[in-house]
Every structure is written in structure tokens, then in C-alpha cells.
């Protein structure tokens, strides 16, 4: 299509170079030979850039596919259905409340998520990193069979707990429990735990939460963590993560004695008990490797390692902070104790790893990082019968480990005292599913090293564990329900020693044993315990923050309440909400009997404001539901009952009448007599009631609002609020009328009148009856939040200090804070409960407490609420202009490989888990937040047009999608260049700071707005006829 213009037309298209890659309407089929595409696609290839094989040498960076950025975590959390009776939770050994912690992440309440995780799992971060989730929680996800697939639960767990780790906040005991000095003597019982691994850390943590004050862990190494530290590689589980969780345990007073090895220097289970320890928990791993007889006698010098030799040496040389002296032996973990720094095992050439469990694959992937050029994983079973979880096996496959199934070692071939090859028999799986050896088939594989990972056993340690006995399978003989020894009542065990080999199973063993130990110790002193285990939750100083507020003459325990809507359909629902922790509730609006209503159906439908989104998390709802179908007598009786049983919670009765003084007087007095703390006058229902001369029919007229407020003020003494409609030209005028009429305050806003959408056959949804009729309904949810924030701030600016209850799109602590800052004192919530359930209140409470607490920490001043600042760009890539595809990715890999070889793997090994000092500033309260933003909200003419900003792109975060480029071209100022080879966007001096690019960018903080360094000169098109003032808008 030709474009007709003249050279001097103002409509002439300029910037043709910039617009070269802008999308255009396709007028013909695209023609390009395959040979061209074959060559071109290599340039744009994005999915094969990971380092593999020998290129991984000394690369111990995080490689977990589950690791998430904040953007990824928010997107994944919002995908979660937060199911009822969630199967994912039932599949978790520690029974994490998964839907709750994911819901908190979706609302950017990372502390609330971490609190939920650590309450059930003291090693929540470790398990988030290493749990075999595909076989546990993820295996039970209800989205497994959907197109999108199961939720990345482990990644979300890791994300939330890592954010909490960065906060540097200590653990405390449940503040509602008796202080340590108020507990009976039984809580001073001496408790010993052997081995500072996951089982013992978990057990000690729960015992300390219960109030036991004399707990000691005996650990053979000079560091903690057990096999988590020794045998799980740094690229899967960094040492500072283990240290962080141990520090949380120590916050509760648990002691760890290092260098205390069971079986040495007379230290045995019996000797510990004889020293006055009334309960002993054995949380040792299996210390001795199982070795195939053909490898007996082979040494490291000959090229033979067991996993018990190899992985500890890898850890000592690659985990900063673990080997404290940086030259110490770490109890055999370092390969060369004479060197100044522990060194990695020096591998080269071909490495055979024997076994197909998780440990075998840790050995295989670590072998590449120690210098192997090829790694063969040889195992007796077929690939479909591998014991390793998919997460481990898939990673090894991606890193180019070669799988060799159906292989059983036959003999080792040596030359000059070194291993040079291994011969294997072939195995076959019979029809009976039993693997048999076929001695007629064998194969020889060249090898420079062999790493055996055939499992482990208790070995020579068994006598030191007496009176703990072992089963015929070599595991501790215990009661599987209590983990108590069958021989003596004071002895307990868990983890590897009882056959539970995963970290999360060991963690749950410690949790299970803690309650059994508690019951046993209390029984020694003649005390009883709850028949149902009641282990305390995780608490920190954040949980001590007071979020109550004195508002409109009433004391609210927290600012979160139920709006007069579907969550308050019945008194029983309000009762359940109060039990969950809601601070107040506004009853469903009721009327005099003469005005009773009957609803139509259908009447509540999902919105379309978020596109084609199905399921929970709807951005809006539309309803044509009327006021309560229940009588005033029912509600008045209900209010009295609820106030009797929940005296600390605030109950507000919502009432509605037509413009009739007697009706308002009668109903207001009736509601006051019921015991309600306050009333809410519904002057704003946008559908149905207005046609009866009620609701909106009254609330849109300031004179009627004034008169009704005067009537009610004359009739009652308790506070009352006028609920305002947004369906007016200026809501503040209605608020002024309510204020003048004597209303204690106002509620802003009720739903926005709207028509949600039409279907292809010209019918709406909801459509009622055979004629499929509809009406304008009330739109609610996040879609109306901007309208509600505007209304609340406008009223606050007009009537400073006037009490405002806010409602309209509050779905998190974050959004609550926004309304508080705009002038509201408390908030009412409906749509987010419709999306989920009453338990969201705990998310809101912990989120608000965290927000207030973090404000008192000067060291966290750069955080955006609970979001930490972005990590800096790696120096090795700075200024290189290298996107992450094609030949550019190859160049990035070369830079990384070179940097890895020069890197000191043990640098920055200092303790990163130091506790921050107590809050340096006073922790603000809820009232301090009310109206904080109001002074910054005002008329346009007060905005400064001299302090301009421009966009800045972070190339390292950029995914090269060009969304910024397209929106700038077709909706902005053509101020972004888009390189045709690198697809890196570059901001030009034509940028006017409009911020559209930031708004459409899919990556958090990839584009930021920074101060403009050159004068901003507007492009007027045609020069003005008069001089424009520099302050003109």
C-alpha cells in the first residue's frame, strides 16, 4: 500500500531507521528458503546456552530449574488454584500449608509465606532447594493434567524463604506461650541429639519452641548440617542456607557442641544418657559406604572414590564458610590438608559413576566440575526403574552425563597401579520384574576414575548406638509412629538411620520425634500432654507488631473487615470469619420486613477485565444480588450473639430504607439495641434497590444524604457511617453532606454500576429467565481499586481527619496500605474472599505487620515493601552488550568459563546470616500510615515539569522482546532504537519520560526511570506564535 504525502507534511513519517523492525501488516505470504532459515535460526537460538560437560569445571553456580525470580514467583503463585483439602499438602511429609504460603507469595507477602513454611518445616529453605517435589507435593497438584502443568512448589518455597533470609530476622518462641521461667521443671530436662543434620535440627527446633531450655546437639564435624553440608553440592544447596537454618535454631537457645563424634573418645548413646540427658535423639546419617566386593582395597590414589570420599571433598573446596580455617581438614573433607585452601578432587578424562540414586547423580554432575571430560552413569536397572527423582536425572542428562543402564560391575582393569577400565555384565529384567545377570554379555568401558554410589550403611558405628538395636535391614528398630526405640523409652531416632533418606523425610522425623520426646519427658514428671500434637508455629519479632487501631471511637484489633456483601450472607459465616482472625464485619444489609427482597439467579459472575482468565484470582466480579433476604429480627439477634462471643471484634450493622424518616429511625434504633458497635447506612446499592427508592436513589443526592444522616444521628448514639456510591460526578460532595448531617464517617466505595459483557448471540451474562434479560450490576474487585483510591483520597483531602472505611479492590496487605495512605482507617473486603476463603486474613495480618516492622530497619530502606533491591549486574558481562542467544551466548559462555577458572570458590565465606540489630527506629503503627500520601495528591498544576526523567534499560535483565520498542513507536515518541542483530533496545535523547515502556516491560526493574541530564525541549510540531513559558504545562 502506497503512502501519499509531501515532503513538508507534518504527517510525514520520520525515523524510518528506528521503525525498520516495527510490526507491519502482512500483505503476502512470507517467502524464505529453508536453507536460509537453517542458517538464521542458529543466530536466534536461545534454548541451548547452558554449559555442559567439561565446560562446567569449577562452575558451582545455581543450576536448579526450579529457582525463580520475583517475576517468575508472582506469575507461578497466581497460577495456583489454592485448592480445598489440597492434595499437594497431603503429599508433603511435613504437611506444609502449601496453598496458604503460595497465596501469600501471590500477594507479595513473602514474610507471611516464609512463616507458614517454617512453622511446619524448620528446614524450609533447604527443602525448597532439594526436595524431590515431583514425587511429593507436585505429584499431587490438581493442575498436573492441565495444559499449564503442575505448580513449581519447590521453587516458590525457595523464593519466599530466601527473601526472608535476606531480612536477617531472628526466630522467637510463640509469644502467647508461657515464658521459659514460668514453665514447670520438666521443661528444664536435659535433651541430647546426635548429629547436626536435618532430623536433629528439626527436632531441636520444635523442642525449643515448646519451651525446653537445655538442648544440646553433638556434631562430629567442626561445621553443621550433616549430609546437607557434606554430600549435597553447592550448586544445589549452598552452605550459607544450611547455616541460616541452624542459626534460626540457635536463636531459641539450642546449643551445638562440635568435634564430638559418636564412637570416639568414649562418646556413646549410653554414656550420654548416663551424663543426665533424660532423652536422646539419634539423627546420624549412615556413615559407611556400601562397596561392591570387586572394588575392595582400591584407593583414591588408584582412581577409586566412594560417594562418602568424593562429595565431602567437593563440598569442602566449593562451599564458602563451611571449612572454617580454609586450610583445615574438615574431618577428612579436604583432599590436601597441607594446602592453604581445600582443593577439589583432581579428575580428568573418563569417570564412571556407579549407581542411579540421587547421590550417584550428585557425584556425576560434580565430576564435571572437578575436571572430568566424560561421565558415564552405570547402573543395574533400566532407565525407567532408576531410583533417582526426575529432577536429579534430568539435570545430569542436560549436562551431558551418559546413562548406561543394565550394567553390573564384573572386574576392574588396572595398569601401573591405576584404574584404566571396568568390565560390566549386562543385566536383563525378567517377566517377574526381577533383574538377572546375563554372564554371556559383558562390556568394557575405559575409565580414569570410578566413583561408587551404591548406598551406605551403619557399619562399625552400631555398637556405639546401643541400646538402639537394628532390624535385619540395618535400620534402627523403632516405633514408626513415635520414632521411639522399642528397647528403652528415652531413646529416639530418625532420618537415614530409620530408612528415610530424603531431607524432607528426615526433617519430618525430627518433627514427629519432638512431640514423642515431649510426651515422654512430661510423663516423667507426672504431667499430661494434649492427646493431639500441638507443636508451636514459627514466630519472629514481626509477629509482635501491634496492628490494632482506634478509629471513630472504636478499637479495632486489626484494620481488616468483611464488607457488607456475600461473605456476610449469614451470621454463621461471620462467626467463622471471626474465628479465623478478621477484625470486624459489616452485616449483609437488612431492611424492615416491608422491604424484604427475593434475589434472582444467576446473579454473581466473573469479570472480563483481566482478559480470558478462568478460575480463582479474578480481577473483578459483577453482581446483581440485592440486600439480605433475611429479616431484621434475624440480624439483630445475630449481632447480639456475635458480640457476646467475640467482644473484641467490631460488629457493624448495615441497614437500608427508602427516604422515610420513620423507617430510618425505627431500623436504626433496632440495630443499635441489638448491640452493634456501629451502623453503616447503605445509600449506594447500584442495582435493584434504587428502583424501589432505596440505595442509589438516596445516595446520589447530597440533600437526601444530609437529611437521612440527620435522622439517624437524632435516633442513635453509636457511631454510624454513610456508605457512598461511586456512581456520581464527585463523591466528595456526597461525603460532605454525610459529614454535615452528623455521620461519624463514610464508607467508600460501593460497587461501580456496569455491564460486564455480551455474548455472540447478543445476550449478557448473567441473563435471567427464558427471556435472558439482564440489568446493570455492581462491578467489584481489583478493577475498581483506582476508582476507590481516588474516592478515598479525595474525601481525605476535602475532610481532613474524617473517618473513612475503604472498600473496593483490597486483596492484600499491600493494597490495604495504599488505602491507609490515602486516608482510610480500616478496610472492608469481599472479592478476594470470593476468590479464596476466610483464611486469607492471616496473609493480610502478617503482611501488614511485616510492612510496619521493615520500616523500622534502616538497613532495609532500599526495599520496596517486602521486595529487596535487584542484585547488581555481574561485572564479567558489564558493558559487553551480549544478549542471551546465538553467538552472543557462546561469547558469554567463554567469558564465564574463563572467570570460573580464575575464581576463588571459597571467597566470601564469612557468615552471611548475622542477625541484624533490633529495630533502630520506632516501629510505626497503623494510625501512622493513615493519610501519609494525601499531601502528595492534588491538582495537576502543582506538578513540576522541570524535573524530568528518562528510561534506562538494564541489558542484562532484558529478554529482547521489543515490547518497549513497539509501544514507544505506536503509542509514544519513537525514542527507542532496536538493534536488528542483538535486539537490544537503546533509549535515545527523544525520550520524554512517558513511562509506557516500563508499563509493558515483562521483566521487573529491567527498565527504570532516571533523572534527565539534558534539558527537555518539547517537540511542538509547528513553532508557537508566542514564546512559551518554561513553567507552562
- Catalytic (active-site) positions: 685
For the chain, the farthest-separated pair of C-alpha atoms sits apart, in whole angstroms, at 109
Instruction: Name, in order, each residue with C-beta under 8 angstroms of 856's C-beta and a sequence gap of 6 or more.
Output: 919, 920, 921, 922, 923, 924
Look up residue 868 and give its DSSP letter: P
531-537 contacts at long range (C-beta below 8 A, 24 or more positions apart): 535/206, 535/209, 535/210, 535/511, 536/173, 536/174, 536/177, 536/206, 536/209, 536/210, 537/115, 537/119, 537/174, 537/209
What beta strand segments (E) does 18-146 contain? none
Q: In what order do the strands lie in the sheet with 752-754?
A: 604-606, 621-623, 777-780, 752-754
Does 277 sit behind a cis peptide bond, omega within 30 degrees of 0 on the bond before it?
no
From the CB of residue 707, how many other CB atoms can be counted at a distance below 10 Å?
Answer: 17
From the CB of residue 506, how many other CB atoms can be counted at a distance below 10 Å?
Answer: 31
Q: What SS3 string covers 289-356?
A: ECCCHHHCCCCHHHCEEEHHHHHHHHHHHHCCCCCCCCCCCCCCCCCCCCCCCCCCCCCCCEEEEECC
| Secondary structure of residue 694 in the 3-state scheme | coil
How would you class 216 by CB atoms within 10 Å of its CB: exposed for 0-12, middle for 13-18, buried for 19 or more? middle
Instruction: Name, in order, each residue with C-beta under 8 angstroms of 145's C-beta and a sequence gap of 6 or more.
Output: none
Kind and range of the H or E run holding 789: helix 785-798
How would you class 894 by CB atoms within 10 Å of its CB: exposed for 0-12, middle for 13-18, buried for 19 or more? exposed
Angstrom distances, CA of residue 599 to CA of 590, 630, 686: 13, 11, 15
Angstrom distances, CA of residue 284 to CA of 130, 218, 237, 271, 275: 19, 10, 19, 16, 20
How many helices, marked H, and strands, marked E, lie in the chain? 29, 33
Does 749 sit behind a cis peptide bond, omega within 30 degrees of 0 on the bond before it?
yes
Q: Which three cell numbers stand for residue 475?
A: 535400620
Confirm if 250 and 205 have CB atoms less than 8 A apart.
Answer: no
Q: What SS3 string covers 825-840?
A: CEEEECHHHHHCCCCH
Residue whose C-alpha is closest to residue 1033's, from 936, 941, 948? 941
Task: Spell 864-875 as b/e; 16+ CB within 10 A means b.
Answer: eebeeebeeeee
Confirm if 520 and 279 have CB atoms less than 8 A apart.
Answer: yes
Q: Which three cell numbers stand for residue 368?
A: 564435571
Residue whose C-alpha is closest to residue 510's, from 491, 494, 496? 494
From the CB of residue 524, how many other CB atoms can be counted at a distance below 10 Å?
Answer: 13
- Give the span between the Cα atoms of 747 and 966, in whole angstroms: 42
Instruction: Name, in order, each residue with C-beta under 8 angstroms of 419's C-beta and a sequence gap of 6 or more.
Output: 298, 302, 303, 304, 412, 413, 447, 448, 449, 450
From the CB of residue 321, how many other CB atoms can be counted at a distance below 10 Å?
Answer: 20
Kind and range of the H or E run holding 1010: strand 1007-1011
Q: Which three cell numbers stand for residue 259?
A: 568435634
Amino acid at each position: 500500500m502506497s503512502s501519499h504525502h509531501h515532503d513538508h507534511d507534518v504527517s510525514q513519517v520520520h525515523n524510518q531507521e528506528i521503525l525498520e523492525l516495527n510490526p507491519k501488516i502482512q500483505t503476502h505470504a512470507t517467502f524464505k528458503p529453508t536453507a536460509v532459515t537453517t542458517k538464521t535460526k542458529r543466530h536466534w537460538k536461545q534454548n541451548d546456552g547452558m554449559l555442559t560437560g567439561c565446560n562446567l569445571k569449577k562452575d558451582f553456580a545455581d543450576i536448579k530449574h526450579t529457582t525463580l525470580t520475583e517475576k517468575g514467583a508472582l506469575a507461578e503463585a497466581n497460577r495456583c488454584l489454592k485448592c480445598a483439602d489440597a492434595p499437594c499438602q497431603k503429599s508433603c511429609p511435613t504437611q506444609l500449608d502449601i496453598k496458604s504460603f503460595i497465596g501469600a507469595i501471590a500477594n507479595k507477602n513473602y514474610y507471611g509465606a516464609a512463616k507458614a513454611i517454617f512453622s511446619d518445616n524448620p528446614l524450609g529453605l533447604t527443602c525448597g532447594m532439594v526436595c524431590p517435589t515431583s514425587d511429593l507435593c507436585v505429584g499431587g497438584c490438581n493442575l498436573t493434567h492441565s495444559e499449564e502443568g503442575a505448580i513449581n512448589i519447590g521453587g516458590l518455597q525457595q523464593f519466599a524463604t530466601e527473601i526472608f533470609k535476606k531480612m536477617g530476622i531472628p526466630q522467637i518462641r510463640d509469644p502467647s506461650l508461657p515464658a521459659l521461667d514460668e514453665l514447670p521443671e520438666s521443661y528444664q530436662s536435659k535433651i541430647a541429639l546426635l548429629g547436626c543434620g536435618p532430623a536433629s535440627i528439626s527436632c531441636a527446633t520444635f523442642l525449643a519452641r515448646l519451651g525446653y531450655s537445655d538442648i544440646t546437639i553433638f556434631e562430629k564435624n567442626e561445621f553443621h548440617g550433616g549430609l546437607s553440608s557434606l554430600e549435597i553440592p553447592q550448586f544445589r544447596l549452598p552452605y550459607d542456607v544450611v547455616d541460616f537454618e541452624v542459626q534460626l535454631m540457635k536463636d531459641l537457645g539450642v546449643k551445638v557442641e562440635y568435634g564430638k563424634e559418636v564412637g570416639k573418645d568414649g562418646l556413646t548413646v549410653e554414656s550420654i544418657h548416663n551424663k543426665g540427658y533424660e532423652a536422646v535423639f539419634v539423627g546420624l546419617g549412615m556413615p559407611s559406604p556400601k562397596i561392591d566386593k570387586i572394588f575392595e582395597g582400591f584407593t583414591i590414589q588408584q582412581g577409586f572414590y566412594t560417594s562418602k570420599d568424593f562429595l565431602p571433598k567437593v563440598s569442602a573446596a566449593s562451599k564458602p564458610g563451611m571449612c572454617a580455617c580454609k586450610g583445615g581438614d574438615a574431618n577428612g573433607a579436604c583432599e590436601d590438608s597441607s594446602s592453604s585452601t581445600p582443593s577439589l578432587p583432581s579428575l580428568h578424562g573418563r569417570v564412571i559413576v556407579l549407581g542411579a540414586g540421587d547421590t550417584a547423580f550428585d557425584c556425576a554432575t560434580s565430576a564435571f566440575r572437578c575436571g572430568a571430560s566424560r561421565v558415564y552413569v552405570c547402573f543395574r536397572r533400566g532407565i525407567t526403574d532408576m531410583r533417582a527423582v526426575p529432577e536429579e536425572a534430568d539435570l545430569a542428562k542436560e549436562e551431558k552425563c551418559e546413562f548406561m543402564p543394565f550394567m553390573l560391575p564384573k572386574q576392574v582393569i588396572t595398569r601401573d597401579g591405576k584404574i584404566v577400565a571396568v568390565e560390566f555384565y549386562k543385566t536383563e529384567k525378567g517377566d517377574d520384574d526381577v533383574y538377572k545377570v546375563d554372564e554371556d554379555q559383558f562390556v568394557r568401558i575405559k575409565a580414569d576414575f570410578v566413583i561408587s554410589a551404591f548406598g551406605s550403611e551403619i557399619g562399625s558405628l552400631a555398637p556405639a548406638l546401643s541400646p538402639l538395636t537394628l532390624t535385619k535391614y540395618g535400620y534402627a528398630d523403632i516405633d514408626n509412629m513415635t520414632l521411639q526405640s522399642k528397647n528403652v523409652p528415652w531413646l529416639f531416632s530418625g532420618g537415614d538411620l530409620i530408612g528415610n533418606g530424603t531431607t524432607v523425610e528426615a526433617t519430618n522425623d525430627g518433627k514427629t520425634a519432638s512431640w514423642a520426646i515431649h510426651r515422654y519427658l512430661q510423663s516423667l514428671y507426672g504431667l499430661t500432654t494434649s492427646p493431639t500434637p500441638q507443636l508451636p508455629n514459627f514466630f519472629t519479632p514481626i509477629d509482635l507488631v501491634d496492628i490494632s487501631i482506634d478509629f471513630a471511637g472504636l478499637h479495632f484489633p486489626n484494620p481488616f473487615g468483611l464488607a457488607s456483601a456475600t461473605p456476610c450472607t449469614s451470621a454463621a459465616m461471620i462467626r467463622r470469619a471471626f474465628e479465623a482472625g478478621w477484625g470486624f464485619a459489616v452485616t449483609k444489609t437488612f431492611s424492615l420486613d416491608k422491604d424484604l427482597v427475593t434475589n434472582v439467579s444467576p446473579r454473581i459472575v466473573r469479570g472480563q477485565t483481566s482478559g480470558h482468565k478462568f478460575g480463582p484470582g479474578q480481577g473483578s466480579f459483577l453482581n446483581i444480588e440485592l440486600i439480605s433476604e433475611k429479616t431484621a429480627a434475624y440480624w439483630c439477634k445475630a449481632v447480639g450473639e456475635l458480640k457476646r462471643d467475640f467482644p473484641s471484634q467490631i460488629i457493624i450493622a448495615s441497614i437500608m430504607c427508602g427516604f422515610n424518616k420513620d423507617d430510618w429511625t425505627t431500623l436504626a434504633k433496632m440495630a443499635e439495641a441489638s448491640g452493634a458497635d456501629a451502623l453503616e447506612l447503605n445509600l449506594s446499592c447500584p442495582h435493584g434497590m434504587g428502583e424501589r427508592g432505596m440505595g442509589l436513589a438516596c445516595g446520589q443526592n447530597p440533600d437526601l444524604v444530609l437529611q437521612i444522616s440527620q435522622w439517624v444521628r437524632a435516633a442513635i448514639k453509636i457511631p454510624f457511617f454513610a456508605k457512598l456510591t461511586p456512581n456520581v460526578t464527585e463523591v466528595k460532595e456526597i461525603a460532605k453532606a454525610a459529614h454535615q448531617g452528623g455521620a461519624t464517617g463514610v464508607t467508600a466505595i460501593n460497587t461501580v454500576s456496569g455491564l460486564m459483557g455480551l455474548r455472540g448471540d447478543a445476550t449478557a451474562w448473567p441473563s435471567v429467565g427464558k427471556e435472558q434479560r439482564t440489568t446493570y450490576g455492581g462491578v467489584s474487585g481489583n478493577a475498581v481499586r483506582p476508582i476507590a483510591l481516588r474516592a478515598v483520597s479525595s474525601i481525605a483531602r476535602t475532610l481532613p481527619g474524617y473517618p473513612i472505611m475503604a472498600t473496593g479492590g483490597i486483596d492484600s496487605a499491600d493494597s490495604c496500605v495504599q488505602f491507609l495512605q490515602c486516608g482510610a482507617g480500616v478496610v472492608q473486603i469481599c472479592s478476594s474472599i470470593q476468590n479464596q476463603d476466610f483464611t486469607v486474613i492471616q496473609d493480610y495480618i502478617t503482611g501488614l505487620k511485616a510492612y510496619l516492622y521493615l520500616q523500622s530497619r534502616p538497613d532495609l530502606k532500599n526495599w520496596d515493601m517486602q521486595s529487596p533491591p535487584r542484585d547488581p549486574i555481574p561485572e564479567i558481562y558489564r558493558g559487553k552488550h551480549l544478549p542471551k542467544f546465538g553467538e552472543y551466548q557462546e561469547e558469554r559462555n567463554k567469558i564465564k568459563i574463563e572467570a570460573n577458572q580464575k575464581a576463588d570458590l571459597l571467597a566470601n565465606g564469612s557468615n552471611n546470616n548475622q542477625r541484624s540489630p533490633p529495630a533502630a527506629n520506632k516501629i510505626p503503627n497503623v494510625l501512622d500510615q493513615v493519610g501519609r500520601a494525601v499531601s502528595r495528591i492534588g491538582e495537576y498544576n502543582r506538578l513540576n515539569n522541570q524535573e524530568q526523567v528518562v528510561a534506562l534499560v538494564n541489558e542484562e535483565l532484558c529478554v529482547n522482546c521489543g515490547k518497549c520498542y513497539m509501544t514507544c513507536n505506536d503509542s509514544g515518541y519513537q525514542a527507542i532504537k532496536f538493534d536488528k542483530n542483538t535486539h537490544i533496545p537503546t533509549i535515545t535523547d527523544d525520550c520524554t519520560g512517558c513511562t509506557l515502556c516500563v508499563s509493558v516491560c515483562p521483566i521487573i526493574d529491567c527498565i527504570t526511570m532516571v533523572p534527565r541530564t539534558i534539558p527537555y525541549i518539547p517537540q511542538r510540531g509547528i513553532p508557537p506564535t508566542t514564546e512559551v513559558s518554561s513553567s507552562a504545562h
